[in-house]
A = this chain, B = another copy of it.
Amino acid sequence: MAGVAGVSTATAGRVLGGYGKVSETSRRKVEEAAQRLGYRANGLARSLIQGSTETIGVIVTDVGNSFFASAVRAIADEVRAAGYEMLLANTDADPQTEQRALRMMWEKRVDGVIIAPQGSGSVGHLRPLVDDGLPIVLLDRPLATLPEVDQVIINNTSCARSAVNHLIELGHRHIAVISEAAHDFPRLRSVTLAGGDAERPSAARLVGYLAALRRAGIDADEDLVVHSPYNRAAAERAVLGLLRRRPEVTAIFCTDNVLTSGAVAAIQRSGRRCPDDLSVIGFDDQDWTTLVRPQLTVVRQPRYELGSAAAHRLLQRIEERRSAPNNRSRAENTASGDAPKIQEAQRLVLRGRLIKRASTGPIPPG
């Protein structure tokens, strides 16, 4: 490249990289040569020397899920505006896959990572990156044992509580919840309302459900806390089973978008009329919730904003680190007592809210 233009690599670099001073003559020579050769900068070499790739990693469980699709879209927008790019990976909630993705991104030297961690097992994968000073933001799922990392989440517990409150106010007493975290019921029972949002979303919502019942003086019935694997068909079966098993149930709270569609399908198949026989509240305001009849009462979560906020936060951290890269720690086993870097993690809680529509109504007479 430089050879063709008849100047040194230094000068060519100055023109192409837009730094330093170059005479008009050399500039023209280089630009012409670049044009002729179809030159494109080698981002790898640039990143290698500059120590930054202008790329972030995004790890979610499934972009095919509309919730993450929206969040990822938001991240992409934010990131693009900052001139960055985005490496995307799905984990399907598999720890191994998560670890591998994290590792690869780390080796590819991403400038930061936004991750919806699979669970507490993720801490082990994340730890080395955190210690290395890589900016990380937790999306949608907090990690109690990783308090030094920023997180952006939804106030799931109080959202769930207001949803269930709404049902209680309508007179319902036999309120079922369909949840991926049902097996955790015994433990979650003793989690306080305030502590709920430290759990993963499905658990946090279950905590909200329990809190609402407790406040109303209703005993939580374990049999009404219905577990379902995370797919529509399973949710449909689970709800169908519930309705057969416990016909006195007059309301169902769904804790998630895919469980919601399964529940709606089940109710339609069960022949129960909604909301006359049965009230339903869905989670996550997908676009079809106004197309079904009755229109669905749902908890709307700001999923796009969740992504934006996470990306914004991450970019800010990257910027901070760039201007003060002293804390590239790689903590050796120094026996020094106090940690010098008080990174001060930020925890951003976005607020979802209940949208009352036609799928919830007063309890059936009798």
- Write the residues of chain A forming the contact surface with B, with a CB cutoff of 8 angstroms: 37-38, 40-45, 47-48, 53, 55, 62-66, 69-70, 72-73, 76-77, 80, 85-90, 97, 101, 103-109, 128, 131-132, 232, 261, 264-265, 268, 286-288, 290-293, 304, 330
Contacts and interface: CB of A to CB of B under 8 A. Distances in A.
A218 B36 CA distance: 55
Contacts of A48: 42, 44-45, 48
B63 A66 contact: no
Contact of A90 (B37, B77, B268): B77
Interface of chain A, main secondary structure: helix
Which of A70, A73, A89, A108: most chain B CB closer than 10 A?
Answer: A108
Given A76-B90, A80-B89, A85-B105, 19 more contacts: A38-B330, A40-B107, A43-B104, A44-B109, A55-B87, A55-B108, A62-B73, A63-B72, A63-B76, A64-B72, A64-B73, A66-B69, A80-B101, A85-B89, A85-B104, A87-B87, A232-B287, A264-B291, A265-B291
A66 to B, nearest CB: 6
Nearest to A53: B44
Nearest to A41: B107
21 contacts: A37-B330, A42-B109, A43-B107, A43-B108, A44-B44, A44-B48, A44-B53, A44-B108, A44-B109, A63-B63, A63-B73, A64-B69, A65-B69, A66-B66, A76-B90, A85-B89, A85-B105, A86-B87, A232-B287, A291-B292, A293-B293
Query: 10 tightest CB-CB pairs across the interface, nearest first?
Result: A288-B288, A64-B73, A69-B69, A43-B108, A43-B107, A44-B48, A88-B88, A291-B292, A44-B44, A63-B73
Copies of the polypeptide in the assembly: 2
A25 B132 CA distance: 29
Nearest to A37: B330
A88 B89 contact: no
Contacts of A77: 90
Contact of A292 (B47, B104, B292): B292
A281 to B, nearest CB: 16
